[in-house]
């Protein structure tokens, strides 16, 4: 009985430490990353990732095509909700961040998967993020743009959709995934069709324990050779950050567990 009680106390101490530390996880708002003279950052030739809140955000940047090109994550405080097309690829359609001015924009390009890598393991239970469409993506789905169709088609009856899939990874292994529809026209009642145009909370609880998040986009509108026609962008804000060092109270619980183990061995 004493051995069982000691094990229970040790386990409780360790779990308390994890839970209390995770409860203090920072929320990444991307505020403060831009200088007063900047409106966006999409990478530089010598700096192709960025860090915020104990997490690293993937980025690829080059100028090989005669103009700056980027994939992965960027961050922005742009507010343009009217300019259609790829030249306005760094504006959220909300014209603001999810609580402040700055937010991140992800582009799922050809070689870089938008990936968030945490400094340590994070429990996503009770965590999430605010997500919305970019102006480029929103106007393309509402009005059509070049090869990208207007969602719903001429009659509004086409069952179009645009989906974000978020997959959790731990130690390089894929775990659970969750889907969030940035647009959905599959309803029998066209009045229920929608394209997301505000910051919408997405619950990450189903992802469990992770040290990395990877983001993928898919659409009902695809070219047989070149892939997805819908602009492969979304905006994200108010994302859970990495777990800070355990608080003094959490360390106290962990110490109790360690003490119990020592007593058991004695």
Write the pLDDT tens digit of every residue in 210-253.
Answer: 999 999 999 999 999 889 999 999 999 999 987 654 443 344 44
Residues 82 and 174 grouped into a single domain: yes
Sheet containing 173-184: give its strands across.
50-52, 55-57, 115-123, 209-219, 161-170, 173-184, 194-195
The whole-angstrom separation of Cα 68 and Cα 231 is 18
* Spatial distance between the Cα atoms of 30 and 104, rounded to a whole number of angstroms: 7
Q: Does residue 9 sit in the same domain as residue 86?
A: no
Give residue 257's pLDDT.
Answer: 46
Task: Pull the structure tokens for residue 69.
Answer: 């090109």
- 9: pLDDT strictly greater than 70: no
CA dihedral 132, 76, 204, 252 (to 10 degrees): -150
What pLDDT is attached to residue 111?
Answer: 87
Tell me how crowded residue 226 is: count the other CB atoms within 10 A of its CB. 8
Residues 51 and 130 in one domain: yes
Residues 82 and 114 placed together within one structural domain of the fold: yes
Residue of 130, 116, 122 lying closest to 29 (CA atoms) = 130
Q: What is the chain's Cα-based Rg?
A: 22
- Which residue from 121, 139, 40, 30 is spatially nearest to 82, judged by alpha carbons? 139
Q: Are residues 254 and 203 in the same domain?
A: no
Give pTM, 2 decimals.
0.83
- 114 and 77 share one domain: yes
Q: What is the residue range of 129's domain?
A: 26-243
Q: Is 92 left (phi over 0), alpha (psi -120 to 50) or beta?
A: beta
pLDDT of 24 reads: 55
Of 4-13, 41-50, 59-68, the one with minimum mean pLDDT is 4-13
Query: Is there a contact between 125 and 243 (Cβ–Cβ < 8 Å)?
Result: no
| CA 157 to each of CA 113, 146, 186, 187, 188: distance values in angstroms, whole numbers, following the listed order | 32, 21, 8, 9, 8
Nearest to 194 by CA among 133, 254, 128: 133
pLDDT tens-digit map of 18-55? 444 445 568 999 999 999 999 999 998 888 899 999 99
The CA–CA distances, whole Å, from 142 to 56, 78, 84, 97 equal 33, 20, 11, 22
Residues 180 and 97 in one domain: yes
Half-sphere exposure at residue 51, Cβ-oriented, CA atoms within 13 angstroms: 6
Pair 149, 231 in one domain:
yes
CA dist list (Å): 2 to 123, 265, 266 = 31, 11, 12
Residue 147 and residue 193 in one domain: yes
Claim to verify: residue 260 and residue 212 sit in the same structural domain: no
Helices 248-265 and 2-23 pack at an angle, to 10 degrees, of 160
Instruction: Please count the structural domains in the chain.
Output: 2
The answer to whether 222 and 229 have CB atoms below 8 angstroms apart is yes
Same domain for 15 and 3? Answer: yes
Which CATH number belongs to the domain containing residue 106 in this structure?
2.60.120.1350
Pair 199, 76 in one domain = yes
Rounded Cα distance, 159 and 221, in Å: 10
């Amino acid at each position: 009985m004493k051995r069982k009680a000691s094990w229970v106390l040790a386990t409780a101490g360790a779990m308390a430490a994890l839970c209390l530390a995770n409860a203090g996880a920072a929320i990444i708002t991307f505020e403060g990353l831009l200088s007063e003279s900047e409106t966006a950052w999409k990478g530089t030739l010598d700096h192709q990732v960025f860090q915020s809140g104990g997490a690293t955000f993937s980025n690829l940047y080059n100028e090989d095509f005669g103009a700056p090109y980027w994939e992965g994550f960027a961050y922005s405080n742009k507010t343009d909700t009217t300019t259609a097309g790829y030249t306005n690829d760094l504006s959220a359609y909300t014209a603001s961040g999810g609580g402040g001015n700055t937010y991140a924009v992800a582009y799922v390009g050809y070689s870089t998967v938008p990936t968030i890598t945490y400094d340590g393991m994070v429990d996503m239970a009770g965590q999430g993020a605010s997500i919305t469409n970019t102006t480029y993506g929103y106007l393309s789905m509402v009005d059509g743009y070049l090869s990208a169709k207007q969602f719903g088609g001429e009659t509004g009856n086409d069952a179009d959709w645009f989906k974000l899939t978020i997959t959790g990874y731990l130690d390089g292994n894929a775990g659970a995934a969750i889907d969030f529809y940035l647009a959905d026209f599959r309803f029998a009642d066209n009045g229920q069709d929608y394209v997301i145009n505000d910051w919408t909370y997405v619950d990450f609880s189903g992802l469990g324990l992770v040290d990395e998040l990877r983001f993928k986009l898919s659409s009902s509108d695809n070219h047989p050779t070149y892939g997805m026609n819908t602009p492969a962008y979304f905006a994200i804000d108010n994302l859970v950050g990495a777990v800070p060092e355990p608080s003094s109270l959490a360390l106290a619980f962990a110490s109790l567990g360690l003490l119990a183990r020592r007593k058991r061995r004695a």
